[in-house]
Amino acid sequence: MAVTLVLRALGLGDLLTAVPALRALRDARPGDRLVLAAPAALAPLAALTGAVDEVLPTPGLGALRPDSVPRPGLAVNLHGRGPRSIADLLRTRPRAVVTHRHAAFPALDGPPWRDDVHEVRRWCDLLRHSGIAADPARLELPPPPAAASACPAPGAVVVHPGAASRARRWPPGRFAAVARALADRRTGPGARVVVTGSEAERPLATEVAVRAGLGHSAVRAGGDLTHLAALVAGAALVVCGDTGVGHLATAFGTPSVLLFGPTPPARWGPPPDRPRHVALWAGEAGDPHAPRPDPGLLRLTVPEVTDAALTLLVGGVPCRRTAAGDRSPSGSSARATSG
């Protein structure tokens, strides 16, 4: 059986933004075995796409071994702009390669990399350049098979204060204030609120839960991605920053309030035509790798986040504080991978 090899050795949000491209590849090459080179922990989510036959455990660039997969008929670079990602794929000796253009590999055709494009559309456009039709709207995932029984807090509000970089982390005291307001629900009975995070984020999740007056029982940190996915799929609402949990909410159709900064939602946010997902952004792009919370992110206030969340909980459509057109400063692109 012919093999299509796809490299996307990144995180949860990166996988979810690549779902439309993965589905396009499956449709274009239905007889191939589609192998996704990605971190092993993402395998349960990759299976939900209906497009991936196998996840080849690949924790990052340089980890794709040439002998780990049969020679691909097609290798697709959904990882970044190169040159390291291109070199990783070329070591598998593919018969054909789909990638963005890079000066280090003049023999490979491909479109130039653009900073001013949404991450989902970026990979669909790459495939279209090679004659493969791709629809960026195909983001939805079915809930995990055991979601109904595995979800420990059905109908809860999920507050997720963590993010991969400090620049994208809204202060824990503000998350706690929002969680407390949602639990109080001054206009009626309070919502059940749980605070999520990775195992490494357990202290942060605990701090938010305790400061919100929720106690340790509200902490849902640690566990695998299937557990987290079931929790998000069964939630009434998600409140988080620009992180993978926000992409899970989009994938499962769970209403969400997403706090953006320094990366504009026009690059990594939910589709703007889906009113159940509200991206709040102060209109300032900045350094996504800065060692402290982005100044634009800090301009988002507890009252506006709380108001957006409460409005979604009662089925309304909140106002969105975003800057139309995304006029980002030159050179301040989102989390564009240089690999």
For 94-124, write each residue's pLDDT tens digit.
999 999 999 999 999 999 999 999 999 999 9
Which residue did the predictor score with more confidence, 319 or 22?
A: 22
The CA distance from 96 to 111, in Å, is 15
In this prediction, residue 318 carries a pLDDT of 76
pTM: 0.92
C-alpha distances (whole Å) from 109 to each of 59, 129, 145 are: 27, 10, 41
In this prediction, residue 315 carries a pLDDT of 87
Q: Give me 60's structure tokens.
A: 């990052």
The CA distance from 52 to 69, in Å, is 14
In this prediction, residue 152 carries a pLDDT of 59
For residues 6 and 94, the answer to whether their CB atoms sit within 8 Å is no
In this prediction, residue 333 carries a pLDDT of 31
Pairing state of beta strands 193-197 and 33-38? Answer: unpaired
The CA distance from 130 to 161, in Å, is 39
pLDDT score of 312 more than 90: yes
Which residues share a beta bridge with 197? 221
Question: Which H or E run includes 35?
Answer: strand 33-38
In this prediction, residue 323 carries a pLDDT of 39
Which residues share a beta bridge with 259? 241, 280
pLDDT score of 331 more than 80: no
Residue of 175, 248, 247 whose CA lies nearest to 206? 175
Neighbour count for residue 314 (Cβ, 10 Å): 9
pLDDT digits (tens, 9 = 90+) for 233-288: 999 999 999 999 999 999 999 999 999 999 999 999 999 889 899 999 999 899 99
pLDDT score of 186 more than 60: no
